[in-house]
Amino acid sequence: MKSMNICILLLHINIYIYIYIYIDLNFLAASFYQKTEARQSHSPPAIVIGGGFAGIAAAHALKNAAFQVVLLESRERIGGRVHTNYSFGFPVDMGAAWLHGVCNENPLASWIGRLGLPIYQTSGDNSVLYDHDLESYALFDGDGHQVPQDLVEKVGKANKLRYETNEDMSIAQAIKLVMERPSI
């Protein structure tokens, strides 16, 4: 009996897309369940664990590289956090609402660009929170007091400290460093 090498890919990739893209996941999944007789007998097998966006992409890449692919998903559907919710009586696309790290290194950014879809960059400086009436609202602390906007900005600046140093520190230490800076 010939031993087989099995590739197990554990994928825990968070991909957030700031646009809604309709992907026919059933069509993509069907391509992974083709009969194995149609594949070359010398193709190495691979198991992809997780049928979310990253798992489907990995399975697709492996299939294109002549692997025999088995995609394992624990839910009754594939797509991970990307799915359509019909509980309100009409379809609402869920998940895939943010593309994290829009840069040349993110392959989704160029793909979205080729589709001609807009990408909007956000940061702590230009992000706004909205309530259910789409009116912006203020942040409040645990005692119900409104958090001053300048403090919110300082917390955002403390978050940016992660790019200035490789030293591990708590958020409390980072905020203390920001508060002590004379330029703020």
What's the average pLDDT block by block, 10 residues per block, for the chain (184 residues)?
29 27 39 48 88 91 94 92 88 77 72 79 57 59 76 71 75 78 62
Same structural domain, 138 and 64: no
Residues 31 and 107 in one domain: yes
pLDDT at 66: 93
Based on the fold, state whether residues 23 and 78 are members of the same structural domain.
yes
Residues 18 and 62 in one domain: yes
Q: Give the span between the Cα atoms of 139 and 148, in whole angstroms.
A: 8
Instruction: Give the global pTM.
Output: 0.42
Phi then psi dihedrals of residue 140, to 5 deg: -130, 150
Same-domain status, 25 and 86: yes
Pair (105, 141) in one structural domain = no
Domain hosting residue 46, numbered range: 7-114
Check whether residue 14 and residue 104 sit in a common domain.
yes
Examine the domain organization and report whether 170 and 144 are in the same domain: yes
Q: Which residues of 7-40 are buried (b: 16+ CB within 10 A; e: fewer)?
A: eebebeeebebbeeeeeebeebbeebeeeeeeee
pLDDT of 21:
30
- 2 in any annotated domain: no
When computed from its CA atoms, the radius of gyration of the chain, rounded to whole angstroms, is 22
End-of-domain residue from the set 114, 146, 169: 114
Could you tell me whether strands 68-72 and 7-10 are parallel, antiparallel, or unpaired per DSSP bridges? unpaired
Under 8 Å between Cβ of 152 and 139: yes
Shared domain for 30 and 77, answered yes or no, is yes
Q: What residues pair up with 45 in beta bridges, in sequence order?
A: 68
Is residue 141 domain-shared with residue 179, that is, in the same domain? yes
Let me know if residue 73 belongs to a domain.
Answer: yes
156 contacts 150 by C-beta, under 8 angstroms: no
pLDDT for the residue 129: 59
Residues 30 and 105 in one domain: yes
Domain limit, last residue, from 71, 90, 114: 114
